[in-house]
Homo-oligomer: A and B are copies of this chain.
Amino acid sequence: MKYLQTFSLIHDVARAGSIRKAAEDMNITSSALNRQIQRLEDEFGTQIFERLPRGVRLNPAGELLLQHIRSQNADLERVRNQVADLSGVRRGHVSIGCSQGVNPIFLPEQISRYRAKHPGVTFSVRVRDRAAAEHDLSTFTSDLALVFEPIHLADFEIITSIPQPVCAVMAKDHPLADKPRLRLRDCLAMPHVIPSNEYGVRHLLELATRGKSRGLNPVVEADSFELMRRYVLYEKAISFQIPIGLGSGGDAGMVVRELPERDLPIGTLLLGQMRGRTLPVASAKFALQLAAALEELDGARA
């Protein structure tokens, strides 16, 4: 699409931070690019870039326009898929951002299930922390986001949500492994492994221990749920995860215990999209499937 070059125009210049640099990136002269931008600003009626002595930067109007162009692009992609659809083949692409905790078990199964029905549909999965996943929605980098305890809900339209109590994970031969009713303070008395700041589980732990005498005192802090899960097999430590990231049976050698609500608030796992956006058919249908699966999961847990 010819006129979509306006997109990469604004986008690339904004990213490069200067017209000359952007021009070099896209293999044209700076003067050509310069004039294109001037023409664009002229047609739009306002300045889009702030001219700094060191280059250019988007001004608020430019941010607004860029956002519009992004949405435009995403919607054109949707139309494309829809057109491909009506010519027979079920095509499409689903892009989803999700937290690490959801990644290893739940999502692969869901994707393969969907692709079994629609082999023409492709997927991209972006593993991000919750803030980045939300941001990707608003820049139309992802169609869907599956996140635990989101932060900004402004542009986030909730498709479905299920409660997810934080669970303690430990080795089968851990001293606490036999206690059927586990308390948070017991866990924290032991060596424990917790997620780094950007994760929702950490956030809930911080909330629960704020002002308490027994605070967080992790022996390991990590940004990999996989690592944390496996670590408890090596040292007699406790790590914290949410049920959806743990296989229904649980891995061999591990014990999983829900922590009671009075110790730790129950978190929420949300499936969401960009507010007000019309998703491509494939993404919308996949979202439906996810929502059903999540609700089923919640039903089974209760």
Q: Does A3 contact B (CB under 8 A)?
A: yes
Q: Does A79 contact B (CB under 8 A)?
A: yes
Task: Compute how far the CA of A64 lies from the CA of B82 in the bound complex, rounded to whole angstroms.
Answer: 8
Residue-wise interface mask of A (237-281) relative to B, using a CB-CB cutoff of 8 A (1 in contact, 0 not): 000000000000000000000000000000000000000111000
A1 CB contacts on chain B under 8 angstroms: 43-44
Q: Does A160 contact B (CB under 8 A)?
A: no
Residue-wise interface mask of A (82-96) relative to B, using a CB-CB cutoff of 8 A (1 in contact, 0 not): 110011000000000
Task: Compute how far the CA of A278 lies from the CA of B277 in the bound complex, rounded to whole angstroms.
Answer: 9
Tell which of B46, B76, B83 touches A83, judged by Cβ atoms closer than 8 Å: B46
A60 CB contacts on chain B under 8 angstroms: 83, 86
Task: Compute how far the CA of A59 lies from the CA of B52 in the bound complex, rounded to whole angstroms.
Answer: 48
A75 CB contacts on chain B under 8 angstroms: 68, 71-72
Task: Compute how far the CA of A151 lies from the CA of B255 in the bound complex, rounded to whole angstroms.
Answer: 58
Number of copies: 2
Best-buried of A2, A45, A79 by chain B (most CB within 10 Å):
A79
A68 CB contacts on chain B under 8 angstroms: 75-76, 79
Task: Compute how far the CA of A44 lies from the CA of B3 in the bound complex, rounded to whole angstroms.
Answer: 11
Q: Bin the interface of chain A by size.
A: 20 to 34
Interchain CB contact under 8 A, B43 and A2: yes
Interchain CB contact under 8 A, B2 and A80: no
Interchain CB contact under 8 A, A65 and B86: no
Instruction: Tell me the minimal C-beta distance from A70 to chain B in angstroms.
Output: 11
Instruction: Tell me the minimal C-beta distance from A287 to chain B in angstroms.
Output: 14
A276 CB contacts on chain B under 8 angstroms: 276-278
**16 more A-B contacts (CB under 8 A) besides A65-B79, A68-B75, A276-B278?**
A1-B43, A1-B44, A2-B3, A2-B39, A3-B6, A44-B80, A45-B80, A46-B87, A60-B83, A61-B87, A64-B79, A68-B76, A68-B79, A71-B75, A72-B72, A276-B276
16 contacts between A and B (CB under 8 A): A2-B3, A2-B39, A3-B3, A44-B80, A45-B80, A60-B86, A61-B83, A64-B86, A65-B79, A65-B83, A68-B75, A68-B76, A71-B75, A72-B72, A276-B276, A276-B278
